[in-house]
Chains A and B, each alone.
Chain A
Amino acid sequence: LAKTTQPISMDSYEGQEVNITCSHNNIATNDYITWYQQFPSQGPRFIIQGYKTKVTNEVASLFIPADRKSSTLSLPRVSLSDTAVYYCLVGDANNAGNNRKLIWGLGTSLAVNP
């Protein structure tokens, strides 16, 4: 089964760039790597998704090296409202089609300080 590893927690300050890396092995070669954000007492919310190289949207960038053994979520100029838990999500290499298994990381708790 695919396995993911993320730092348990990170601290930052307002205005800084934050990079959160997820290491993952045995992931599906043809599946997306996805990141979600979760605030207390809410369901996770989609941030960004990519297959390889770099993807950027209005809130974040995602860097995926060619070997796809890790991915890095980059949050530019964080604010207090970015304090949340961030999860990576990958597909397991040993399943396909409708039986694909999606594996969640345990999450990185990001604290943004004034």
Chain B
Amino acid sequence: DAGITQSPRHKVTETGTPVTLRCHQTENHRYMYWYRQDPGHGLRLIHYSYGVKDTDKGEVSDGYSVSRSKTEDFLLTLESATSSQTSVYFCAISGFMNTEAFFGQGTRLTVV
């Protein structure tokens, strides 16, 4: 399996608090992605990165920010969590965009 680790795996937080999810890879892949997955919506891209300090928005980026200061780490931050951000979050990596991507195990985030 590709070396990709998400942390934490589960988190419950209160509305209005900041939350940071971490994605760590050991594959030295250029591209890293953050998705959220909700029933009825499938996978939706939040943000992605195509290199250190190079990021771009996906289709559901409002309320989220990302940072990539090292090749191996891609952080997703919810500045002020809302109940609508309750979801399962997946990180993915790939060598090139739209080539085989490897996904992490997911983080289940609940905002109460």
Contacts and interface: CB of A to CB of B under 8 A. Distances in A.
B45 A46 contact: no
Contacts of B92: 43-44
B7 to A, nearest CB: 14
Interface stretch (B12-20, B65-73, B75-83, B94-102): B94-102
A75 interface: no
A101 B50 CA distance: 13
Given A44-B103, A102-B45, A91 B54 contact: no
B100 A49 contact: yes
Nearest to B97: A100
Contacts of B56: 98-99
User: Interface range on chain A: under 10, 10 to 19, 20 to 34, or 35 or more?
Assistant: 20 to 34
Interface in A68-94: 87, 89, 91
B98 A31 contact: yes
A42 B43 CA distance: 13
A107 to B, nearest CB: 5
Given A98-B50, A102-B98, A43 B104 contact: yes
Contact of A104 (B40, B43, B102): B43
A102 B105 contact: no
Contact of B102 (A41, A46, A98, A105): A46
Nearest to B50: A98
Nearest to A99: B56
Contact of B43 (A32, A41, A87): A87
Given A42-B105, A98-B56, 11 more contacts: A32-B98, A34-B100, A43-B92, A43-B104, A43-B105, A43-B106, A44-B101, A45-B103, A99-B56, A102-B98, A104-B44
